[in-house]
């Protein structure tokens, strides 16, 4: 490992050290006060994000060709660190409210971020798998972190069982690809496919199983069943983190594996993937439509967003991947923000996440209401927000590749989605507040919300800057 390698993996190293320090900090406080662990995590992830963004990201390989060090990995390493950072800032309010005082929560969060970073930078299927499992195992624990809550524990167990199930497919697919092509290395696979004139049944089966593994992680229909239950049961902070960070990590992997390494085999899987995309958008939206719990609604709508993103993968061009990257960044901001506001409001009353609990809160807390409106408008895709341009770029890339009907389905779905997102806004502003409306709003918490809503607007006003950066970064 030369110094270049060292500098290249510095963000990962910082995150691992952060995870270890968080444990130590917790031990030092004798497990009574998790705020030390939280502080360490916030600081460490902030540094990691900054390092990831400023470190030079030319299109090079690290660690003897095991890791990509390109623009895409730089942007997404930063995104994961930021998602973890935001989650860590949101967490104390949520955890204290539920009397959870375990510092290892933060350490696990940092480990998750580490796993995501490896997933997004891996240049080898095995390494990707290691990253995936690092993230997943930490997530299994985090999902069931509310040990006294049946739903939480059940969610964690389900995630574990089904995750293992899907990992089996993933691994078996890798084995078959190795058997068919002779390598697990992305670049080598791409090269081998260029040399060969077509693939055999073994390779195609491998590709199919690999796709199943990815589809599970991005919660594409019909491999999505775990996600509503898990999102519902998990602590809301972790739901927010999973639906943004974990999803983005899986998508970056999907782009690297299917969008680049296996792109020459796309004739075999494009149709299947577009059917999956259409189903995912539609099922996610229609089920979200009928939810009475905002948390569950956001969980289902995150399935729908995975569907829009899959449209970008189907399109299969660098422009489409840049658009997907743009979309993922915007989506992380708006979904984290939406969950953030939801959790703030959720402090009061019965602590459920029903639409009822939002009644009139926008009139009581106008700034909060305004920010929630920004998040919702962006989730719908109304200009000038990041969400609008994300959809615009993804869909226009798909149209250029002739996937008109997919785009039409996507647009119809966006219209459906407007209903349940606007319901949040209208409940917050049009209804009269009831009962006790007092909530505490820690400064850092509100700052995260303010920055994300501002960024959504700024990206919406100056979309070209980000999409150009994405085009340069795309693998």
Partner 1 sequence: MLEFLYLIPLFPLLGVVLNTFVLRGQPEKLVGGVAAAMVGASFVVAAGAFFQLLGMPAESRHFEQELFRWIVVGNFSAQAGFLADQLSMIMMLVVTGVSFLIHVYSIGYMHGDAGFRKFFIYLNLFVFFMLLLVMGSNYLVMFVGWEGVGLCSYLLIGFWFTDELKASAGKKAFIMNRIGDFGFLLAIFLLWTTFGTINFREIEPMAQAYPVGAGVITAICLLLFMGATGKSAQLPLYTWLPDAMAGPTPVSALIHAATMVTAGVYMVVRSNFLFSLSPMAMDVVAWVGGITALFAATIGLVQTDIKKVLAYSTVSQLGYMFLACGVGAYTAAVFHLMTHAFFKGLLFLGSGSVIHGMSDEQDIRFMGGLKDKMPTTYKTFLVGTLAIAGIPGLAGFFSKDEILWKTFESHNYALWAIGATAAFCTAFYMFRLLFLTFFGKFRGSKAQEHHVHESPKLMTIPLIVLAVLSVLGGYVGVPHALGGHNNFHEWLLPILSETGEHAGAHHGVPTAEYVLMAVSVLIALIGIFVAKSWYLGKSSLVESLGKSGTRNLLYNKYWVDQIYDTMISQPLVKLSEIFARYVDQGTVDGSVNGLGATVSGIGGIVRKVQTGVTQNYAVIMSLGVVLLLGTLLWSVLG
**Chain residues in the site for partner 1 (CB under 8 A):** 154, 157-158, 161-162, 165-166, 169, 199-201, 204-205, 207-209, 211-212, 215-216, 222-223, 225-226, 228-229, 267-269, 271-272, 283, 286-287, 290, 389, 392-393, 396, 399-400, 462-465, 467-468
Nearer to partner 1, 145 or 216 (CB): 216
Burial of 55 (0-12, 13-18, 19+ CB in 10 A): middle
Nearer to partner 1, 161 or 447 (CB): 161
Residue 312 Cβ vs partner 1, minimum distance, rounded to whole Å: 14
Taking the C-alpha atoms of residue 138 and residue 24, their distance in angstroms, rounded to an integer, is 18
Residue 22 Cβ vs partner 1, minimum distance, rounded to whole Å: 32
Nearer to partner 1, 285 or 452 (CB): 285
Residue 339 Cβ vs partner 1, minimum distance, rounded to whole Å: 21
CA dist 9 → 62, 67, 113, 320 (Å): 8, 9, 13, 27
Nearer to partner 1, 101 or 268 (CB): 268
133 close to 118: Cβ distance less than 8 angstroms? no
Taking the C-alpha atoms of residue 118 and residue 349, their distance in angstroms, rounded to an integer, is 41
Nearer to partner 1, 296 or 305 (CB): 296
Residue 462 Cβ vs partner 1, minimum distance, rounded to whole Å: 6
Residue 465 Cβ vs partner 1, minimum distance, rounded to whole Å: 7
Residue 352 Cβ vs partner 1, minimum distance, rounded to whole Å: 19
The number of CA neighbours under 13 Å toward the Cβ of 69 is: 22
Give residue for tokens 């899987």: 269
Nearer to partner 1, 154 or 191 (CB): 154
Residue 243 Cβ vs partner 1, minimum distance, rounded to whole Å: 18
Residue 195 Cβ vs partner 1, minimum distance, rounded to whole Å: 18
Max intra-chain CA distance, the chain: 69
240 close to 295: Cβ distance less than 8 angstroms? no
Burial of 132 (0-12, 13-18, 19+ CB in 10 A): buried
Residue 438 Cβ vs partner 1, minimum distance, rounded to whole Å: 22
46 close to 62: Cβ distance less than 8 angstroms? no
Nearer to partner 1, 12 or 229 (CB): 229
Residue 46 Cβ vs partner 1, minimum distance, rounded to whole Å: 25
Residue 155 Cβ vs partner 1, minimum distance, rounded to whole Å: 9
Question: Would you state the structure tokens that stand for residue 65, as one six-digit string?
Answer: 């060709």
Residue 453 Cβ vs partner 1, minimum distance, rounded to whole Å: 14
The number of CA neighbours under 13 Å toward the Cβ of 260 is: 22
CA dist 429 → 71, 155, 343 (Å): 41, 33, 18
The candidate with the shortest Cα–Cα distance to 428, out of 385, 379, 374, is: 374
């Amino acid at each position: 490992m030369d110094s270049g390698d060292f500098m290249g993996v510095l963000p990962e190293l910082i995150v691992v050290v952060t995870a270890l320090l968080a444990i130590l900090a917790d031990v030092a406080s004798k497990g009574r006060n998790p705020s030390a662990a939280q502080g360490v995590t916030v600081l460490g992830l902030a540094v990691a994000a900054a390092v990831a963004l400023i470190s030079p990201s030319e299109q090079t390989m690290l660690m003897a060709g095991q890791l990509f060090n390109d623009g895409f990995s730089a942007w997404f390493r930063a995104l994961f660190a930021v998602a973890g950072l935001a989650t860590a800032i949101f967490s104390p309010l949520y955890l204290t409210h539920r009397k959870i005082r375990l510092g290892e929560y933060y350490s696990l969060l940092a480990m998750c971020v580490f796993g995501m970073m490896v997933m997004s930078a891996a240049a080898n299927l095995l390494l990707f798998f290691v990253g995936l499992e690092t993230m997943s195992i930490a997530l299994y624990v985090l999902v069931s972190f509310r040990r006294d809550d049946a739903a939480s524990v059940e969610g964690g167990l389900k995630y574990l069982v089904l995750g293992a199930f899907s990992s089996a497919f993933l691994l078996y697919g890798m084995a078959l690809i190795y058997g068919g092509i002779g390598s697990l290395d992305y670049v080598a696979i791409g090269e081998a496919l260029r040399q060969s004139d077509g693939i055999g049944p073994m390779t195609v089966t491998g590709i199919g199983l690999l796709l199943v593994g990815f589809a599970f992680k991005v919660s594409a229909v019909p491999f999505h069943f775990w996600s509503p239950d898990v999102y519902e049961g998990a602590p809301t902070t972790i739901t927010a983190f999973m639906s943004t960070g974990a999803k983005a990590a899986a998508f970056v992997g999907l782009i690297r594996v299917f969008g680049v390494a296996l792109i020459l085999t796309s004739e075999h899987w494009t149709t299947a993937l577009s059917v999956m995309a259409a189903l995912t958008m539609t099922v996610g939206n229609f089920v979200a439509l009928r939810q009475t719990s905002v948390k569950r609604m956001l969980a289902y709508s995150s399935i729908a967003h995975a569907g829009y993103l899959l449209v970008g993968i189907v399109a299969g061009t660098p422009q489409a991947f840049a658009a997907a990257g743009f979309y993922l960044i915007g989506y992380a901001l708006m979904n984290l923000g939406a969950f953030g506001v939801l959790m703030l409001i959720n402090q009061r009353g019965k602590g459920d996440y029903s639409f009822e609990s939002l009644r009139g809160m926008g009139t009581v807390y106008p700034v909060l209401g305004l920010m929630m409106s920004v998040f919702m408008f962006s989730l719908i895709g109304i200009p000038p927000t990041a969400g609008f341009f994300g959809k615009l770029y993804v869909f226009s890339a798909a149209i250029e590749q002739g996937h008109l009907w997919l785009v039409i389905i996507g647009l119809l779905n966006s219209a459906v989605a407007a209903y349940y997102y606007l319901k949040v806004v209208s409940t917050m502003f049009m209804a009269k507040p009831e009962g006790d409306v007092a909530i505490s709003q820690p400064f850092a918490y509100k700052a995260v919300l303010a920055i994300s809503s501002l960024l959504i607007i700024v990206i919406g006003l100056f979309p070209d800057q980000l999409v150009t950066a994405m085009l340069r970064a795309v693998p």
